[in-house]
Amino acid sequence: MAATDQSYTSPASKINLSSGSSSYKLASGYEMPAVAYGTFRSEKNEVGPAVMEAIKAGYTHFDLAHVYGNEKEIGQAFKNAFEEGLIKREDMFITGKLWNSDHDEEIVPQACAHSLSNLGIDYFDLYLVHFPVAWKHTGLDTPSFGSSELGNTPLIQTWRAMEKLVDDKKCRSIGVSNYPLMLLHDLVTQARVPVSCNQIEVHAYYTRQSLVNYCLSRDICVTAHTPLGGGASNKETWNTACPLDDPIVKKISDVHSKSPAQVLLRFLLQRGIVVLPKSVKSHRIKENLDLFGFGLEEAEMQELHTLDKYVSYKTNPNPIGAFFGGPDAFSSAGTDIFD
């Protein structure tokens, strides 16, 4: 039996890392800043001041979601920043997300309008389907979380309603979040308005080569919603290993006189992935944006890649090795369609 060609497609990064204002040009044609301020897990009366700190530090890209329950507080922070002349709306990139219980076609525009009203803005730069699952609608002010019931709206119908938001100029770009490769490819083959983004968990302990390289090959921006592996929060809540504590990460950070967080974020940027770090501490907010005065050597990138802890136990019917020899083999193991 002839040896199988085990080369694979690894698209080049579209992020220009030579500039402190680096951005990613989305399939829609709009530019997305390569570093965003994340707003997940921010307590009441905490996120507003943190957003103001982030604006003062130089962030222009903000990642939000209705289910986080903090849109109104963030909207007030935006209003204050506009009134104080700290930033203009046209100089910002604001991402919102459609929650699972708002997937019904007639609810999608209502949910988008509700979030825009909470935030005091007229449009989203990017609006994402938060998860690839429809739950029964429970009200715009009461997004389902707990005792949730599966809904009956197919994902493609939700996407058609998302496309209409672009037509109606309520969103400049649309995309998805937490989509695995097989569902994402199904959407790509049917989408009228291109899928501009897939926001996923990806970090040094979960590198997801197949999914990341598939996205980049289809001009879909990958954004990392957990770029530090969940940080201290995941460590404390679930006792999971934290890449911030990894000896290899610490060794590389010492070489560059940078923090472990900066090394982990730079690792993703050099892979062509937009990062969404989150902190409410002023010095961390500034530090997480300071990623462009250094670079990781190829040997360091490879060393960080070895930290991946993801092991696929999915065998049949996953045709993981069947992609070798073609343009859609995206990792050294082939392509994991369940990634």
Catalytic amino acids?
Answer: 68
- Distance, in Å, from the CA atom of 269 to the CA atom of 267, rounded to the nearest integer, reads 6
Cα 223 to Cα 1, 63, 275: the distances in Å are: 41, 10, 6
Burial category of 7 from C-beta neighbours within 10 Å (exposed 0-12, middle 13-18, buried 19 and up): exposed
Residues 6+ apart with CB under 8 A from 56: 86
- Distance, in Å, from the CA atom of 177 to the CA atom of 307, rounded to the nearest integer, reads 24
Q: 272 — alpha (psi -120 to 50), left (phi > 0) or beta?
A: left
Backbone angles phi, psi at 26, to 5 degrees: -75, 165
| DSSP class of 314 | -
